[in-house]
Amino acid sequence: MDSTLISAEQLMKLQRSEDARLMVFDCSFELMKPEAGAQQYRAAHIPGALHADLDTDLSARHGVPGAHGEVVVAQDEGGPASGGRHPLPSREKFAAWLSGIGFANDMQAVVYDRNGANYCGRLWWMLQWMGHEAVAVLDGGLQAWQAAGGAVTDREEPARFQSNFVIGPPRVELAGTQRVLAGLGQLGQTLIDARAAARYRGEVEPLDPIAGHIPGALNRPFTENLGPDGKFKPAAQLRAEFETLLAGRDAASVVHHCGSGVSAVPNLLAMRIAGLGPTALYAGSWSEWSNTPGVPTRQGAQA
């Protein structure tokens, strides 16, 4: 069972295996055009893959059109597990979604997108959070799949039988605002911000009410984990880059964040690949922090 990366060739072999219990997820999404991911999926996806939408499937609330075209926010009735623009659903609600699409505890999940693992990482992390180890990211995404000769289809996938997914102990750590606040300036916490450098420095902020970053946070844009081919860099290279960034800080103290807890996951995955995990995720991230009264913020380059 794979739990970090899987190549296109490995996935093809797994699909051919008669014994494989496999479910593939297309997590393609566009932050500024939320409907685009589903449209891209319908146009072309790996045969058999199901679409997992960031807003409607992997978050506790999502915008739906109202009677007059306005956006109405639908809340997770079970209560979200985090804050921010893309709050995590409760583990119980997410388990119900997994059961509804027929995903079972004995299955291998493979997740991919068209966006440099930005969005499929969310599902990878969430399955780990549910206690499910057998989930891997398709290295290089749909582009690598097609480059390797993998077929795509626009066919609508058939419905799956209901399963009974059982929640297990989390395999990843979820951090909240109060924990991050309490750890500011402490040796036991090292924050890594995955947003682009200009947003980290506070020069631009297209989405949240305050520009800048959490005091003391280090900046590593999530795109730095990928090589020119769109695949994750070799483990040794990732390890060297993170060790340079940490500059002697304990890797086990790392808490990852970004704008809304999504693009931070490629950093978390990269540290896992590099043998520097496990590390924690602040899922509410800057969108929750910047909406929390009284918390400190900073602008400018990291110290």
Mean model confidence pLDDT for the chain: 92
Q: Assign 1 a pLDDT band (cuts: 50, 70, 90).
A: low
Structure confidence at residue 19 (pLDDT): 84
Per-residue CA distances from 274 to 188, 219, 236 (Å): 21, 18, 6
Structure confidence at residue 176 (pLDDT): 96
**Interatomic CA distance for residues 245 and 253, integer angstroms:** 13
Structure confidence at residue 217 (pLDDT): 98
Q: What DSSP letter does each residue of 129-178 carry, written as one string?
A: HTT---EEEETTHHHHHHHTT---B-PPPPP-----------SSEEE-HH
Contact 287, 215 (CB under 8 A): no
Q: Which CATH class name applies to 173-289? A: alpha beta
The average pLDDT across 99-122 equals 97
What's the pLDDT tens digit per position in 164-219?
Answer: 999 999 999 999 999 999 999 999 999 999 999 999 999 999 989 999 999 999 99
Q: Which CATH class name applies to 5-147? A: alpha beta
**Interatomic CA distance for residues 215 and 181, integer angstroms:** 10
- Which of 19-23, 141-145, 252-256, 287-291 comes out lowest in average pLDDT? 19-23
Structure tokens that stand for 282 in this block: 């602040």
* 24 vs 161, higher pLDDT: 24
The average pLDDT across 148-160 equals 94
Structure confidence at residue 69 (pLDDT): 34
**CATH 3.40.250.10 domain range(s) in the chain:** 5-147, 173-289
**Interatomic CA distance for residues 242 and 270, integer angstroms:** 9
Structure tokens that stand for 281 in this block: 């995720």
Q: Which of 258, 271, 276, 283 is catalytic?
A: 258
Beta strand segments in 164-269, E: 173-175, 190-193, 218-219, 254-257
Contact 3, 136 (CB under 8 A): yes
Residue 226: count of CB within 10 angstroms of its CB: 18
120 is catalytic: no
**pLDDT above 60 for 14:** yes
Per-residue CA distances from 218 to 87, 151, 186, 277, 303 (Å): 23, 40, 14, 17, 8
